[in-house]
Structure 1
Amino acid sequence: MSQEILINVTPPETRVALVENGVLQEVSIERERRRGLVGNVYMGRICRVLPGMQAAFVEVGLSRTAFLHASDIAVPEAVGEEGEGRRSDSIVDLVREQQQILVQVIKDPIGTKGARLTTHITIPSRYLVLLPDSQSVGVSARIEDDAERTRLKEAVQAFVEDGDPCGYIVRTAAEGASLEAVEEDRRFLLKLWSSIQARAASAQPGTLVHEDLPLLLRSLRDLVASEVEKVRVDSRENYQRVKAFCDKYLPDLVSRIDYYPGERPLFELYNIEDEIQKALERKVQLKSGGYLIIDQTEALTTIDVNTGGYVGHRTLEETIFKTNLEAAQAIARQVRLRNLGGIIIIDFIDMLEEEHKRQVLRALEKALERDHAKTQISGVSALGLVEMTRKRTRESLEHVLCEPCPTCMGRGSLKTAETVCYEIFREILRESRQFEAKRLLVLASQEVVDLLLDEESASVAQLEEFIGRSIRFQAEPLYTQEQYDVVLM
C-alpha cells in the first residue's frame, strides 16, 4: 500500500492529510489559538472529590476544570491485613482536596466536558512508549510476525532487567528497526522523563510541565511507517524544521521529505479540500448508487446504509449483500476521516443469510485494521444493528471546523411558519389577559408576517374581535423564522 503525508502550514493553522493509494484517509487540523492538549503533562491541584462518581475535578490551569476518574490513578499496591497486596479503588482513599498531583491529558475537552486526565504518565517517541510507573514490557498488536515480536520484546526486557526503572511499550514503527536505534530511543526517553521530573518538583499547581509535540512533528512520529513513500510540506520554513527533526530522530525518513513549491495549493492538487467538504455532509454516496447517512449526536453516532439507486442484477439478497460490503469499506474510511469516536451504531440493510452477515462484519473489521485509533466491534445485535466503539481523544472533524447553526441551535430543523403563527396567537391571548394595552404590535420574520396577513388573516380578525384590540404586524429582516416579539402599545 502506497502512502503519502501532505502537510499544509499557514501561520494560524496546520493541516496534515494521510493519503493511501490516492485516497484521503485521515486529516488532522491544529490551530494556533486552540492547540490540542492530549499528551501534555500538568501539575494539578484536586479542587473537588466526588465519591458518588468515583472521580475528582482537577485544576490544571485550563478554562474548565479537568476530570480524573479513580481507575486512571496510579498508586502503589496497599498491603492488606493478611499481607496480600491490595489496591484501594475508592477515590477518597486515593486523593484528597487541595492535593498536588502530576497528571497527563488523555482526552481533549469535548463539547461541554473538560479534559480527561490520568496519573499513568506515558511518554511516546519513535519506537517506544515510556511507562514511568511500571516495569512491564509490551509489544504493539500490529506487529504480527512472532519472531519479530520476540526479538523486540527480549531486547527491551533486557533493558528492564539491567536495572531500568521504567517499563515500555514497543510501537508498530519499531518493526524491522535495529536494536541500536531502539536503545537510542530508550536513552532519549529516560533523559526526557528526568527533565519532566525536575520541572515537576518545582512546578506550581496549574502549570504546564511538559507539552507534547505540535501536529507538524507529532504526525511524523505517529503516522510515518514503511509504507509512506513521501512527506510533502508546502512551507519552506517548516520543511527545514521537519528536516532538522528527522535528521535527529528519524534519519531513515530524511530522503522521503519533499518541499512543495508549486503555485497551486498542495491540498487542492490532491483534491483534499473537496474531500474535507464532503466529510462534513450527512450523506455519503457509494459508487454502486447506494448511500450512507451519518448523524453525530452527543451520545453516539449513527450510520444508516441504503441501497438508493442500486438495483443489482440478480436477487434482492445479492443486491443488499453487495451494497453492505461496499458500505463496510466506506464506513471504515469515513470513521477515520471524520475522526468519529465513542459509540457508533451501524444500521446495515437487513440480510437473511448468516454467511452474508459474517462476511460483511469481517469486511468491516478488516477495513478498520489500518485505523490508528483503537476500535472494538461487538457484533450484530438482536435488531440487526452493528455496535462498535472507537477511542475518542480529540474532537471530530465536524466539531473542529463547525459550530451549531444559530438559527436552529443545532437541531437540524426549524418550526414551520404556521407553527410560529399559532404560538404568536397564544402569546397574544396570554398577554391581553395579563396586561392593559390599546393595541399590540407583533415583530416577526418576513415569512411569518406574510402568512399572518394572507392565509391566517381571518384568524387574526377573529382574534382582534375576541380580545377587543387591534393587532399590527411588522417584519424584522434580522429575525429567524422562530423569533418573534409581542409588544404592548
Structure 2
Amino acid sequence: MSEKKKRSLMLINVTHAEESRVAIVTEGVLETFEIETFDHRSTKGNIYKGKIETVHVGLQACFVDIGDERAGFLPLDEVNFKIHPARGDQSRGRIEHHLQRNQELLVQVVRDAYGSKPPTLSTYFSLPGRYLVLTPHDSSAGISRKLDDKQREKLRKTLDSLPTPEGFGLIVRTAGATATKAELQRDLKYLTRLWEKIEAAAQLRAPKLIYQERSLVIRAIRDLYTPEIDEILVDDEETWREIQQFFEIVLPHKKKTVHFYQGERPLFNKHNLEEQIEYIFRRSVPLESGGALVFDTTEALTSVDVNSGRMRHEGHIEDTALKANLEAAAEIGRQLRLRDLGGLVVIDFIDMRQSKNVRQVEKAMKEALKKDKARYDITRISRLGLMEISRQRLNPNKTSLRYTDCPTCDGTGSIKTVEAAALGVLRRLQTRVVKGDLERIEVVVPQEVAEYVLNAKRRELARWEERFDTRIVIHARAGMKRDEMEVLTEVRSKSSEHRPVVAAPVHSEIMAAIEEEQEDEDATGAGSSEAAGAEGSEAPKKKRRRRRRRRKKSVLTSEASEGADAAEGNEAEEVTESPVAEEIEAGADEGAGAEGSEAPKKKRRRRRRRKKSASNGAEVEAGGDGQAEVEAAKQAPVAPLAAVSALDADAEQGPHPRP
C-alpha cells in the first residue's frame, strides 16, 4: 500500500503594509517561514552603480559608495578580472592593480548587512529566474547539486542546445529538473532582456540603484514554489492579482492553484501558525518527548544544547539518549531553516557510548538538512559529543526584524544589583571629590540606587564633605538604567581655594581686645595698691617690672632716699606741675623703695606706654597700678635734671645685665 501524500500549502499574509509574511506548511507543521518589514527590506540581489571611496591594500578590498547608509565591502575574490583587468603592465592578483579610488563601477549585493558588518558586494553578476540563473561576463555553466546524476545528465544535454549569448553563463535551478526545453528558453530570453536594460541604465552617474529585486511575495514564489505545493492562499486582493500575472508569464498551467482568502479569521491563525512562529524567536524550543533545544547566538557562532529535560527514561539510559538525539536532530534541521542561522553552528548532543548510535544520529542530521536550500558543511560527532555545521545565511536575521535590544540591559539579559550599582556610584564620586577642587557636586542616579546610597552610605558622604570642603547632592530620577548615572560639578573659584582655615582678626578687633584686657588689669592693680598703702612703709612689697630697668648706682642708697624724703617739705613749692616729671619721679621713687627694702614677696606688674606730646620729646613708662600710683607720684619730690637725663638715657639704651 502506497504512502498517503502529505498536503502542503503556501500561505501569504500581507494585510498590513508594515510587514509581509510567507509560510509553507506541511500537514500543519511549519517548514519554511520568510518575513520582511517596510524598514528592513533586503538589498540582496540589488545592482548599484557605485563609486570607490577607499582601497585598502592591507585588506585587499575596497569600500564602495552605493548611496546607502553604509558603504559596501568589495573583496578581491569578488572582482571579475574580465570586467576589470589590470591597468597597464601591472600583474594580476592585487586589488590596487585593478581598481582605484573614485572609480565608478557596477556592483551587486550578494549578502545583506548583518550587525556591524556592511553589505558584501561582487562584480560577478547573477540574475535568477524561475528555472535558470543568468551569469553575465562569466561563461561557466552549472546544475543544482540537489539533483541526482540522472537528472543532471539530462539537463546538461538540454543546456548545450540552448542559444546562450556569447560571454554568458547559465545555472539550472532545482525547479528546472521538471521544466521543458521551451520553458527554459522562455526563461533565458526574459533574463537576457533584463540584463540589456541594466547595462543601458548603468550609464547614469554613481551612486545609483540600477536594479531592485522583486518583492518578498514574488521572490518566495520564484524560489520556494515546488510542484509538491497543492495550494497558494493570499489574504490581500492586490497581491493576489500580482501573483496571477506572474503565473501567467512563468507558470501558466499552475495559475489555478492560487486562491484569494476572504475568511474572517486571520489566515495564519486558521492554520495554527502563530504559536509555531513565536518559537522561532525563543531561546528554548520544546520537544514532543519532553526534552528541549536551547539556542544561544554569539558573534562567533550559534550553540545548540540538547537537554533530555523531563523525558521518560525507558529501559537503558543509552536508549533514552538515542531517542532524544534523534528527535533533536530532526527539529534542529527545521529550526536552522526557520531561523536562517548562518555561520558556524555547534550542536551538543547527549552523550552516547555505542558508536552505532552515534552513526545513527549523524545520518538523521544529514537527512534533516537535505530540505535546506542553503549551502552547508557538516562534520561527524566528536569524542566530546559535539557536531559542527557551517551554513550559508540566505536572508537577514529574522530576530532583528521583530525585536530590538532591551533598553534596560542593552541586550545582555542581566542588570546590576542595587548594591553593586551603589558602590559603583560611590567609587566614581570619591575619585572626583578627592581632587579637592570642587565647590559642589551633584549625582543623578536611579531611584533605588539613590535610596540605598543616602540610607546606607550617609556617613561616608558626610566625611567627604567635611574633609574636602565640598557639597555633595544625590538626586533620584525614575526611568534611568540601573548602572546609569549623571554627574554635575561646580569647580571652586581660585579666591576660595586659597581661603585659610583660621582667619586672622582685623586691627579694630585686636585693639578692642587689648583695651578690654587693660581695663581688667587696671581694676586688679587698683585693689593691690590700696592693700600695699595700708601696710605703710614698714614692709613695702618688691615690685617686678615686665621690662627691666637699669638698676640704681651704688651711690643711690637708702640714705639718699631718706634725704629726699626729708627735703620734700622745703622743695614742695618749687615743684612744677608737669605730668612727665611726676611720672618719672614716681618711677624713680618706686625703684629706690624696691632696692632699699626687703620685700617678702615679689609682685609682677604690667606697664603700658603712653605717648606724650611732641613738646616733651620722649617716651616714658608709668606704673600699672592705676590711680593709686598717680596720686603717689604727685606727693613725690621733683628729681634733679641730671637724674632725669640719666634715666632717659638708660631707657633708650635698654636694660643692663644684672650685677
Aligned 8 A contact 1:429 1:467 in 2:
no
Match of 1:7 among 3, 8, 12: 12
Q: Provide the C-alpha distance between the structure 1 equivalents of 2:47 and 2:340, rounded to a whole number of angstroms.
A: 24
3-state secondary structure, aligned to 1:220: helix
Task: State the identity as a percent.
Answer: 35
State the match for 1:142 in structure 2: 146
Alignment partners' CA distance in 2, 1:297 and 1:388: 15
CA contact (8 A) 1:47 1:56 kept: yes
Aligned to 1:115, which of 106, 115, 119?
119
Question: C-alpha separation between the residues in 2 aligned to 1:486 and 1:52?
Answer: 43
Structure 1 residue aligned with 2:51: 45
CA contact (8 A) 2:30 2:273 kept: yes
Deviation at 1:60, TM superposition (A): 1.2
1:325-474 matched pairs, under 5 angstroms: 325-381=326-382, 383-435=384-436, 441-452=442-453, 457=456, 459-465=457-463, 468=466, 473-474=474-475
- Which structure's CA Rg is the greater one? 2
Contact persistence 1:106–1:393 (CA under 8 A) = no
Residue type of the alignment partner of 1:121: F
* Greater Cα shift, 27-36 or 232-241: 27-36
Return 271-280 or 121-130, whichever deviates more.
271-280
Q: Distance in 2 between matches of 1:198 and 1:440?
A: 66
Report if the CA contact (8 A) 1:78-1:87 is conserved.
Answer: no
Matched residue, 2:652: none
**Residue by residue, what CA displacement relative to the aligned partner does 1:168-195 show, whole Å, maximum 9, x if unpaired?**
1111111222111111111111111222
**1:95 to partner: Cα distance:** 1.6
Counterpart of 1:43, as a letter, is K
Measured against aligned partners, the alpha-carbon deviations of 1:440-472 in whole angstroms (never above 9, x if no partner) come to: 654322332344456xx2x44245335537866
> Which one has more relative contact order, counting CA pairs under 8 Å at least 6 apart?
1
Q: Which region of structure 1 is more displaced relative to structure 2, 214-223 or 270-279?
A: 270-279
- Structure 2: gaps of 5 or more residues: 1-5, 491-659
Q: Are residues 1:159 and 2:162 paired?
A: yes
C-alpha distance 147-485 of structure 1, shift in aligned 2 (>3 A): closer
Q: CA RMSD in A?
A: 2.4
Which one-letter code corresponds to 2:173 in the other structure?
R
Letter paired with 1:168: L
1:435 to partner: Cα distance? 4.4
User: Which residue pairs with 2:206 in the alignment?
Assistant: 205
Counterpart AA for 1:369: K
What is the one-letter code of the residue matched to 2:150?
Answer: A
Separation in 1 of the partners of 2:77 and 2:390?
A: 19
Please report the TM-score for the alignment, with normalisation by the length of structure 1.
0.91
Residues 49-88 of structure 1 mapped to structure 2, 5 A cutoff: 49-76=55-82, 88=92
Q: Partners in 2 of 1:212 and 1:390 — Cα distance?
A: 23
**Structure 1 pair 163–296 and aligned structure 2 pair: CA distance change class (3 A):** closer
Q: Which runs of 5+ in 1 are unaligned?
A: 81-85
Q: Structure 1 residues 92, 472: CA separation in 2 closer, same or farther (over 3 Å shift)?
A: closer
Amino acid at match of 2:92: S
Which residue is equivalent to 2:577? none
Secondary structure at the aligned position of 2:337 is classed as: helix
Cα pair distance change 1:92/1:260, threshold 3 Å:
same
- What is the rounded CA distance, in whole Å, between the counterparts of 1:56 and 1:22 in structure 2? 48
Structure 2: distance between partners of 1:303 and 1:31: 28
Q: Deviations for 1:98-141, whole angstroms, at most 9, x for unmatched residues?
A: 22221111001111221101111011101100111222321111
Partner of 1:193: 195
Q: Give the secondary-structure state (helix, strand or coil) at the position aligned to 1:344.
A: strand
One-letter amino acid of the counterpart of residue 408, structure 2:
T
Residue of structure 1 in register with 2:244 after alignment: 243
Query: Taking structure 1 as reference, are residues 462 and 256 closer, same or farther at Cα in structure 2, changes over 3 Å only?
Result: same
Contact kept, 8 Å, 2:235 with 2:260, in 1: the verdict is: yes
- Once the two structures are TM-superposed, the CA of residue 151 in structure 1 deviates from its matched residue by 1.8
SS of 1:204's partner is: coil
Cα deviations by residue, 1:417-460 (Å, 9 ceiling, x for unpaired)? 11111112212211221245677654322332344456xx2x44
Q: For 1:462 and 1:485, how far apart are their aligned partners in 2?
A: 20
Residue 16 (structure 1) aligns with: 22
Are the equivalent residues in 1 in contact too, given 2:85–2:98 (CA < 8 A)?
Answer: no
**Number of positions where the alignment pairs a residue of Structure 1 with one of Structure 2:** 478
Q: How far, CA to CA, are the matches of 1:302 and 1:221 in structure 2?
A: 32
Native 8 Å contact 2:49 2:207 kept in 1: yes
Distance 1:45 1:430, change over 3 A: same
Residues 1:292 and 1:158: Cα distance change in structure 2 (over 3 Å): same
Q: Is the 8 A contact 1:381 1:387 kept in 2?
A: no
Conserved? CA contact 1:56–1:68, under 8 Å: yes
Question: Do the aligned partners of 1:348 and 1:384 also contact (CA within 8 Å) in 2?
Answer: yes
Once the two structures are TM-superposed, the CA of residue 393 in structure 1 deviates from its matched residue by: 3.8
Q: Counterpart of 2:427 in 1: which secondary structure?
A: helix
Find the counterpart in structure 2 of residue 175 from structure 1: 177
Kept in 1: contact 2:447–2:478 (CA 8 A): yes
Is 2:108–2:123's contact at 8 Å kept on the other side of the alignment? yes
8 Å contact kept, 1:325–1:363:
yes
Match of 1:83 in 2: none
Structure 2 length normalisation: TM-score?
Answer: 0.69
The residue type equivalent to 2:238 in the other structure is E
One-letter amino acid of the structure 2 residue matched with residue 88 of structure 1: R
How far did 1:261 drift? 0.6
- Which residue identity is paired with 2:33? V
SS at match of 1:380: coil
Which deviates more, 365-374 or 349-358? 349-358
Structure number having the greater strand percentage: 1
Amino acid corresponding to residue 350 of structure 1 in structure 2? D
1:180 alignment partner, SS class: helix
Q: Letter of the aligned partner of 2:342 in structure 1?
A: G
